[in-house]
Amino acid sequence: MEAVIVKDLIKKYHKVTVINSLNLSVEDKKCAVILGMDGSGKTTLINLLAENIRKTSGEITYNSSYSFMPDAEGLSEHLTVYENLYLMAMASGYLKEDAKKIIDEYANKFNITERYDDKVKTLSVSLKKLVSYILLLVMNTDIFLLDEPFKGIDVKIKRVMLDSLKELKNKKTIILTTELVDIAKELSDDLYILKDGVLEKIDKDKELLELENKLLNAEVVE
């Protein structure tokens, strides 16, 4: 069963076509990874899928609820880590005690309980990304959209998040953008390169060097 269907999606900025008649179908509980260099349009695409920006034309259909983890961390900087997590849990419909339980569960899993009282503005980029990722888990929708979740983070947190996403495979439908070929190869069920505003499905079993060369040869469209 298809969890996400995109038909003839177009996005234009003035005279520049960033996303050009794009089609994508993601099966339920599969992980689709979209590779692209900076400026390739992948952030535009994932924001179109999250309905954060208006499409020029085309159709996007979901068979269930989705949540979005942006590249620019969607956190309230003036609040503490716990306050951010608690507000999201309450907004997601948890009862008060259940909210505390789910927050503690994920905080223990990712070893951030000692940062509960820290203001988000004091955190490193890596820890902000990790808290943003935990917010996504707290929302617990059937479909996860992630824009560049591994960009700019340290190796330890990158591995923790990658292992968590691998655990979610066959449980959640995941669409993720990245420029990291090794991550894409390790995580994806279906692998795409965004080139000329169009998604090209590629063989994930190709050698890393071949995939990297293909990525480097993809044209920038914005």
What is the C-alpha to C-alpha distance for residues 12 and 29, in angstroms, rounded to an integer?
31
> What is the per-residue pLDDT across 158-170, written as a single tens digit (0 to 9) for each?
999 999 999 999 9
Q: What pLDDT is attached to residue 221? A: 42
Q: What pLDDT is attached to residue 192? A: 93
CATH assignment, 1-65+173-222? 3.40.50.300
Q: What pLDDT is attached to residue 220? A: 45
* Confidence (pTM): 0.91
DSSP collapsed to 3 states, the chain: CEEEEEEEEEEEECCEEEEEEEEEEEECCCEEEEECCCCCCHHHHHHHHCCCCCCCEEEEEECCCEEEECCCCCCCCCCEHHHHHHHHHHHCCCCHHHHHHHHHHHHHHCCCHHHCCCEHHHCCHHHHHHHHHHHHHHHCCCEEEEECCCCCCCHHHHHHHHHHHHHHECCEEEEEEECCHHHHHHHCCEEEEEECCEEEEECCCCCHHHHHHHHHCCCCCC
Q: What pLDDT is attached to residue 217? A: 72
Beta bridge partners of 194: 199
| Domain locations in the chain as residue ranges | 1-65+173-222
- Residues in the chain, pLDDT under 70: 72-73, 207-209, 218-222
